[in-house]
Amino acid sequence: MQFSHSRVETFEQCKFKWKLHYLDELQTLDDYEPTNALVLGHALHTGIEKGVQAGVDEYLNYFPVISTEQVTEQIKLEYRIQEVLDLLPDGYHEVPIYDSDFIGFIDYLTPVPGSMTEFDLWDYKYCASDRRYRDSDQLHLYKYWFERLNPQYRIRNMNYVIVPKISLKQGKKETVYAYRERIKEEMKRKPVYLLPVTYDSSYIIDFFRKIKRIYDTKDFEKEPSPLCQYCEFYDYCQKGLDYMLLPKNERRPMNTITRKKIWLYGAPFSGKTYFANEFPDPLMLNTDGNVQFVDAPYILIKDQVSVEGRITKTQLAWDYFKEVITELEKKQNDFKTIVVDLVEDLYEACRIWKYKDMGISHESDDPFKAWDMVRTEFLSTMRKLMNLDYENIILISHEDTSRDITKKNDRATVIKPNIQEKVANKIAGMVDIVARVVADDNKHTITFKSSENVFGGGRLEVLEKEIDAVYDKFLQVYDEANSKAKNALKKEEPKPTTSKFVPPEESEEDEEPEQEPEQDPDVKVETKSEPEPEPEQKQEPVKEPESEPEQKTETVTAGGTKVRKRKVRKE
């Protein structure tokens, strides 16, 4: 087994989590919380390596729908990435370290001025506190294995680049603009800083002891701690809910989208139900009784009251809805489209059902768990609905325009589905696309526009941001996505079993030919058995042929991986 710092650290935190992740290889559903630490961390690394905009794009492209919370995190990222870029010297990004026993990636490696064999090592941490990194073995392991695989080089200094994470809450009467300005002031007050690390070989010995414990362990027990709430397996471990996916270990062909999952919202009488009625063989799961203008068969989701003698029995609407889903799972019907109209009514039915189950009259009666239990019950049932094996699943909601935000000193109305924002973000992650239905006089349109104040968007790349609310027009959106998905799958290049770091030679203007040291044969870039070329010829093998002349970058081959050297802007 190949080990890494994070793999061993996971074992030390919780043996059960280590088993789920590395032995069972379970995968979790995507977490679309704006503050997702893993997504923010990847975006920060991308921005430092490829530029501010690249980091922002990676962050925003992860989410099916962009809300004001994501835009706030985007502002933080832009500010922090630029801070790090201004702080770091010239160097090499993502330098790999791997052999048959260990794998890791050095975030940043910079040559020591005046030396051809010494480097400084840097690792980025986007965190609220640096306490856990002061005693971490990560950089000690990187130094040990880098020097072991590259005996001709040495690591001089090691530093964590600590990027403080700012977590301020917006005041009830505070505008979005004022809230974001307060965040910017807090980031100025808490700038990016360096945490130096002094090498200690005892960390290496302890690392091997931990690996031995992993091999000796037979029972992988749960180890509850305050970190559990941040674990991706929390719901599976603590609640026992069916949140986990165990896919087959093979690449999936990305040819066509055969099942359509859509969330439509709009003002009342804007034509949402009428448009859904155009889909083939629909079944309406209706909550408001508004089915008199469509001809599709329907089931009215409401409290079911029955009388047996003198006894009156009531089945709550949420129980009835779950029975309908169970019946639909049997597939003993010929429906092709399932329409839920309206989603927010179902959420209210779920709340009332949970009140009765918990013996409360409102979530505030048990604020520590009632809110979470209502959302969990609703979202887990909605996942069952979205996983039904039907050609089309359509969710319908009314729109909410009751809130305003400030945009560049102008007020703008927030347009979103009429449901809690946390629930809306989760539902958006279950569908392909979220679209708004707009009625203007006698014209009905579907808009896919998404902005800071308009809730919308999705996984499909839509060229036309507005189309007529006609079934054939809507199908063209999926046709475009299917055509772009073809041939999108690429084979992953195999990784070598060992790696060696090979920095490029210094540029001609900074190096005297007669002072050039003899190249070590183990790290030689040239493989042809020819006489020693002139200094200016040595640079050729490490250049990228497709690079434009004006691009001021150098390329280094490190274990089969190309790493760009960034030129720092001079003031």
**Distance of alpha carbon 537 from alpha carbon 539, whole angstroms:** 5
The predicted structure's pLDDT at residue 111 = 94
Domain limits of the chain? 5-245, 260-469, 520-566
pLDDT at position 451 is 79
Average of per-residue pLDDT across 221-248: 71
What CA–CA distances, in Å, run from 416 to 59, 239, 258, 422?
22, 31, 27, 12
Among the residue ranges 222-226, 310-314, 370-374, 497-501, the one predicted with the least confidence is 497-501
Instruction: Assign 223 a pLDDT band (cuts: 50, 70, 90).
Output: confident
Give the per-residue pLDDT at 23.
87
For residue 115, how far is the Cα from the chain centroid? 40
- CATH code for residues 260-469: 3.40.50.300
Q: What's the pLDDT at 482?
A: 67
pLDDT tens for each residue of 350-368: 999 999 888 888 888 887 7
Q: How confident is the model at residue 481 (pLDDT cuts 50, 70, 90)?
A: low
Instruction: Give whole-number Cα distances, 186 to 7, 47, 183, in Å.
Output: 34, 21, 5
Is residue 496 pLDDT above 60, yes or no? Answer: no
CA angle 80, 143, 558 (to 5 degrees): 80
Q: Which pLDDT band, with edges at 50, 70 and 90, does 561 fall under? A: very low
In 501-569, where does DSSP find H-type helix? 535-538
Q: Which residue has the tokens 């809230």?
A: 179
pLDDT tens for 240-296 read 655 555 555 666 555 556 688 999 999 988 889 989 999 999 999 999 888 877 889
Q: CA–CA distance from 227 to each of 10, 179, 456 (Å)?
A: 11, 28, 33
Name residues whose C-beta falls within 8 Å of residue 215's C-beta, 6 or more positions apart in sequence: none
The per-residue pLDDT for 250 is: 65
Terminal CA-to-CA distance of the chain, rounded, Å?
48
CA distance 236 to 380: 12
CB count in 10 Å sphere of residue 552? 9
Cα 119 from Cα 113, distance rounded (Å): 9
- Amino acid making up residue 262: I
Q: What mean pLDDT, rounded, does the chain reach?
A: 81
pLDDT digits (tens, 9 = 90+) for 56-72: 999 999 988 888 899 99
Q: If you search the block for the tokens 């990222």, which residue do you land on?
A: 77
pLDDT digits (tens, 9 = 90+) for 92-111: 999 999 888 899 999 999 99
HSE-CB of 508 using CA atoms within 13 angstroms: 7
Q: Is 402 exposed, middle or buried (0-12, 13-18, 19+ CB in 10 A)?
A: exposed
Is 309 in contact with 343 (CB distance < 8 Å)? no
Nearest to 202 by CA among 149, 142, 154, 137: 137
Chain-centre distance of CA 510, in angstroms? 43
- Nearest CA to 94 among 144, 51, 49, 147? 49
pLDDT per position as a tens digit, 10-46: 898 898 888 888 888 887 777 888 998 889 999 999 9
Question: Is residue 236's pLDDT more than 90?
Answer: no
Mean pLDDT, residues 504-528 taken together: 46
- In degrees, to the nearest 5, what angle opens at C-alpha 167 toward C-alphas 450 and 413? 30
Count how many residues are written for the chain: 571
Q: In the CATH scheme, what architecture does the domain 5-245 have?
A: Alpha-Beta Complex (3.90)
- One-letter amino acid at 85 equals L
- Taking residues 142-150, what's their average pLDDT? 93
Calpha distance 496→511 (Å, rounded): 32
* CA nearest neighbour of 558 among 48, 143, 97: 97
Q: With 60 as the cut, is the pLDDT of residue 138 above it?
A: yes
The token duo for 513 is: 């030919």
| CB hemisphere CA count around 229 (13 angstroms) | 2
Which of 224-228, 311-315, 491-495 has the highest mean predicted lDDT (pLDDT)?
A: 311-315
Cβ burial 105-124 (10 Å sphere, 16+ → b, else e): ebbbbbbeeeeeeebbbbbb
Give the residue with greater pLDDT, 131 vs 405. Answer: 131
Q: Distance (Å, rounded) from C-alpha 356 to C-alpha 480? A: 47
Report the helix count and the strand count for the chain, using DSSP H and E: 17, 21
Higher pLDDT, 360 or 535: 360
Cβ atoms of 491 and 250 within 8 Å: the answer is no
Give the mean pLDDT of 314-340: 92
Strands 410-417 and 337-341: unpaired
Q: Where are the alpha helices (DSSP H) in 190-264?
A: 202-216, 234
The reply to whether omega before 342 is within 30° of 0 (cis) is: yes
* pLDDT for 541 beyond 50: no
Confidence at residue 514, expressed as pLDDT on a 0 to 100 scale:
47
At 433 the three-state DSSP class reads: strand
Q: Look at 114-123, 138-147, 459-468 and tell me which has the smallest mean pLDDT.
A: 459-468
Range with the poorest average pLDDT among 89-93, 299-303, 524-528? 524-528
- pLDDT of 513 reads 47
* pLDDT of 197 higher than 50: yes
Q: Helix 5-13 to helix 202-216 angle, to the nearest 10 degrees?
A: 60
- Would you state the torsion angle of the CA atoms of residues 363, 364, 365, 366, taken in this order, to the nearest 10 degrees? 70
DSSP 3-state of 73: helix
